[in-house]
Amino acid sequence: MKKWLALFLAGTLAAGMLAGCGGSDNSGSTSASGSSQTSSASSTEDTGDGTMDSVQELNLVFTDLKTLDVNDVRNANEFQVLSQVQEGLFRTFTDEEGNAVVENAGCEDYTVSDDGLVYTFTLRDHQWSDGQPVTAQQYVDSIKRLLNPENAFAYAFLAYDIENAEAYYNGEASADDIGVRAIDDKTLEIRLQAAIPFFVKKLANVCFFPVRLDVIEAGGESYATDYTKQVYNGPFVIESRILDNEMVLAKNENYWDADNVHLEKVTLKVVAESATQSQLLESKELDVVEAKTDYVQKWQSMVDQGTLVSRSVVKPASTYMIFNQHTGGTSGLMNNAKVRLALSLAIDREELNEVIYSGQNTPAYGLIPYNMLSGDVEFRSEAEEPLTAVMAEYDTDEKIVDLFTEGVEEEGKSVDEVELTLLSQAQDTQNESFLEYMKQTWEDMFGITVTVNICPDSATFVAERDSYKYDTYNMGWNGDYDDPMTFMELWNTESGYAKFMGGYSNAEFDEMFDSLSLMTDTAERTEVYKEMEQNLVAENAGMAPLYYGNSQFFVQEYVKNLSTPNFGAALEFSRAYISGKE
């Protein structure tokens, strides 16, 4: 593999080597977001004397949204915006040590029954942007709508801990049987199937935010996409939107904590190219950017000069290769576990991280990232990454090639006729470098042809993915809450995310998953998680782990009190302000 490193550093990545495409969803990250963990720097930072500029405006980069419907949320871009313009029971910030803290938001207080099954929430006085009150019934309506099988919302599975929720989704119970009710306008009760220690963390997820059925009905077919058909109960409202170009948020004067929201305007800009981002950062037309390999050194020098601040965040994020196990892929090989495992073993994750990501991430040999807790114990401290033992067994290129050849021949094919389709969405030069790295890695190792199909936009990617016109694609996932279940539940056959996970379906995995529903002992749960990860990553190679994601943000020094939680929105700016730009 080191040969590739030399070639890359000498300058590869000819654009002509990458085929153009028809389409699919997202390749770098379907990353949803979520709850809590650890960041290497204080992520809610307030420096200086606290004097605020007369102009309170923040400028950020974003990718435009597919939906404004909180129940239909599914990726990090949607989480980022919707978490700032809407609000549920809880909101996630980070403390001075960078640890995630789930704070009361729409919930003023709550109690939990002695058996851990009944949660009773008292709502604070809170209004929507049109002046109507936020009520407990609107939370009930949201949960029932989330679980309605006719809606087929991808995050429905996140509510399965609620009594009769899964039964309702599967048509085995009615909506009235779901364990959620409004005792009165300000009191919400949720009953669980079984006690789980992380339920409150789950409720910080956007999919549980309240909804207004009257607004949804009035909005009709355009409710989910037209910002003018929405009402908002978060710190901000959407003031304007130019699709795939810019979105402007304005302070919500009806927000319950409006006195502590200092930004009057937040402009979200679609800026795809790293070079353009760098120019806008230098001219102070952008206030925050996420690290890109090409410009990290330059931006770091601005940190050294005192014009930027660097924030490093250890994310509960895992990025991996998805294999098409719906149809076997365009090659007809992806239902063969030996082929999948060989493709996984061929990847030099250490080199990938250094060459493509400048060492920013952590090479992954499992699914569950570091710093993820199982109970009160870090899961990775208890569980060896499952791919490491397999790599020790297949410790030469020859063994990996033999495994691949054996799998190909089991499918009635010969290696010299194999052509794999690697699907992706055009994002930036770093992603293109990653795709070329994967192409060359597999072609050099196995002597096969890898066609990289880059889609021009997410709609095209979705169409290609959903019509199964691929063998593999790269995908990232940010955990929704601080427990390994936030990753494991994605791979359950009944998960709403099965189609995004390449159609992986394994009876043994599903049986272990089901056993967790009544298991409250965290040590026992940890052992089951270990077995599930072993099943997915090593025994069946249902996916190929690549790296655990870390994020680094470069922030203008005049941006104060910006929070960068490891769960939830990547940037929590409801308490941020500008001081010293003028």
| Residue 280 region by backbone torsions, left for phi larger than 0, else alpha for psi between -120 and 50, else beta | alpha
Q: Which of 196, 210, 253, 198 is nearest to 123 (CA)?
A: 210
214 shares a domain with 333: no
Residues facing 267 on adjacent strands: 59, 248
338 vs 259: CA distance, rounded Å: 59
**How does pLDDT run across 338-387, given as a tens digit for each residue?**
999 999 999 999 999 999 988 889 999 999 999 888 988 999 999 999 99
Task: Quote the pLDDT of residue 528.
Answer: 98
The CATH number assigned to the domain holding 452 equals: 3.10.105.10
The answer to whether the CB of 551 falls within 8 A of the CB of 28 is no
Say whether pLDDT at 292 is over 50: yes
In sequence order, what DSSP letters do the residues of 200-237 get, joined into one string? HHHHTSGGGS---HHHHHHHGGGTTT-GGG----SSEE
99 and 152 in one domain? Answer: yes
Tokens of 141: 């309506």
Can you give the residue range of the structural domain that contains 470? 2-31+315-550
Q: Pick the residue with more confidence: 550 or 83?
A: 83
| Beta strand 90-94 pairing with 308-323 | unpaired
Last residue of a domain, one of 232, 266, 292: 232
CB contact set of 460 (below 8 Å; sequence gap of 6+): 21, 22, 23, 24, 425
Four-point Cα dihedral 288, 13, 432, 341, nearest 10 = -130
Are both 439 and 505 inside the same structural domain? yes
Q: pTM of the full predicted structure?
A: 0.79
Indicate the residue type of 121: F
Domain assignment present for residue 285? The answer is no
- Mean pLDDT of the region 490-507: 88
Instruction: Give percent of the chain with pLDDT exceeding 70.
Output: 90
314 vs 339: CA distance, rounded Å: 32
Report which of residues 22 and 416 the model is more confident about. Answer: 416
20 and 88, same domain (yes or no): no
My answer on whether 80 and 175 are in the same domain is: yes
- 237 - beta bridge partners? 250
Domain presence at residue 459: yes
Determine the average pLDDT of the residues in 299-325.
Answer: 93
> Which tens digits make up the pLDDT trace of 238-283?
999 999 999 999 999 999 999 999 999 999 999 988 899 999 999 9
CATH of the domain at 108: 3.90.76.10
* Structural domain ending residue among the three candidates 232, 265, 289: 232
Which range, of 13-27, 58-72, 357-371, 463-477, averages the lowest pLDDT?
Answer: 13-27
- What are 173-230's pLDDT values in tens digits? 999 999 999 999 999 999 999 998 889 999 999 999 999 999 999 999 999 999 999 9
The average pLDDT across 126-143 equals 98
Count: domains in the chain: 2
Q: Residue 57: what pLDDT?
A: 99
**Torsion (CA) 499, 504, 509, 513 in degrees, nearest 10:** -10
Output the DSSP codes for 408-420: HHHTT--GGG-EE
